[in-house]
Structure 1
Amino acid sequence: MEGFAELGVFGLFFSAFLAATILPLSSEVVLTILLLNGLSAPTLIIVATAGNVLGSLTNYALGYWASLGVVKRWFKISEDEFLQAEQRFKKYGMLSLCFAWVPIIGDPLTIMAGILRVPLLWFFLLVTLGKLLRYIFISYIVLNVA
């Protein structure tokens, strides 16, 4: 993660983008390092949010354009598991996209949104809102509590 931090805002953007895909990365560490090094919190929040949202849009596109069989193989899920995930998404609705930042469930949630053809504008707005609020919260904690 320090390698990303050495790249400054560009490293934050790339770490946030990759963290929102199926890769197991964390942009919070990079954000924290950059905040503690005195970089502008508003700039970092915008950059992290943009990168993370673009990563989620990549997942959405995978769900939208990849065949269901391919998605199931990538995530190694059975037909029953897929149906349960689909039912949960339908039960909680599009507002669940505000939680696309949550580890483990966020990536499949954004892929499911693509599979279910959630309108792109709603996807973008809800995912952006959730991720923006998360980065604001993290920045506040780092700068005021740490």
Structure 2
Amino acid sequence: MTAYLSLFGVSFLAATLIPFYSEVALVGLLATGHDPWLLWLSASAGNTLGAVVNWALGRYLLHFEYSRWFPFKISQLHRYQNWYQRFGVWSLLLSWLPAGGDALTFIAGMMKVRLSVFMILVAVGKSLRYALIIALSDQIL
């Protein structure tokens, strides 16, 4: 049980703005004979809930967009908003990408995407990624 909870935690951290690599932990646990289905569930749930943290940060941070310390210039914020409106919520299916995926979840919060829609799309993308890693690991191990 500790292995699955650890993978959940690592996957959770990997989905936030903190750099972490849950795939390495997943493959390592697969190699030691842990149940692939429970690993998939732990990693998918942890990574999806970690993305919710980014969504909440984006949503909360937007309240301070006119403050001097706001991390984005208003012009940058409008550019991000225009990009997001162009590609829409379906871009959240790409939230699993190592480069830019976490930013998508943060921007989704800033764009006030409904949490239910956010969680479904992010969960699908991230769950498919972990399923692919497990399938490929089965071929390698």
Say whether the fold is shared (TM-score over 0.5): yes
Q: 5 Å matches for 1:95-134? A: 95-134=90-129
Determine helix, strand or coil for the equivalent of 1:43. Answer: helix
1:33 to 2:28 alignment: yes
Residue of structure 2 aligned with 1:19, choices 2, 14, 19: 14
- Give the distance between the partners of 1:78 and 1:104, measured in 2 at CA: 22
Kindly provide the CA deviation profile for residues 51-101 of structure 1, in whole angstroms up to 9, marking residues without a partner as x. Answer: 00110011111111223449x968x54333332222111111111001111
For residue 38 of structure 1, what is the amino acid of its counterpart?
A: G
1:136 to 2:96 alignment: no
Determine helix, strand or coil for the equivalent of 1:8. Answer: helix
Q: Percent identity?
A: 35
Name the residue aligned to 1:83: 78
Q: Given that residues 65 and 74 in structure 2 are in contact (C-alpha distance below 8 angstroms), is that contact kept between their aligned partners in structure 1?
A: no
Q: Given that residues 11 and 50 in structure 2 are in contact (C-alpha distance below 8 angstroms), is that contact kept between their aligned partners in structure 1?
A: yes
Kindly provide the CA deviation profile for residues 78-133 of structure 1, in whole angstroms up to 9, marking residues without a partner as x. Answer: 33333222211111111100111112311111111111111111101000000000
- Structure 2 vs 1, CA of residues 143 and 58 (structure 1 numbering), >3 Å: closer, same or farther? same
1:55 to 2:54 alignment: no
- What's the TM-score, normalizing by structure 2? 0.89
Mind listing any 5+ residue stretches in structure 2 that lack a counterpart? none
- Structure 2 vs 1, CA of residues 104 and 44 (structure 1 numbering), >3 Å: closer, same or farther? same
For residue 105 of structure 1, what is the amino acid of its counterpart?
A: G
- What's the TM-score, normalizing by structure 1? 0.86
- Aligned residues: CA RMSD: 1.9
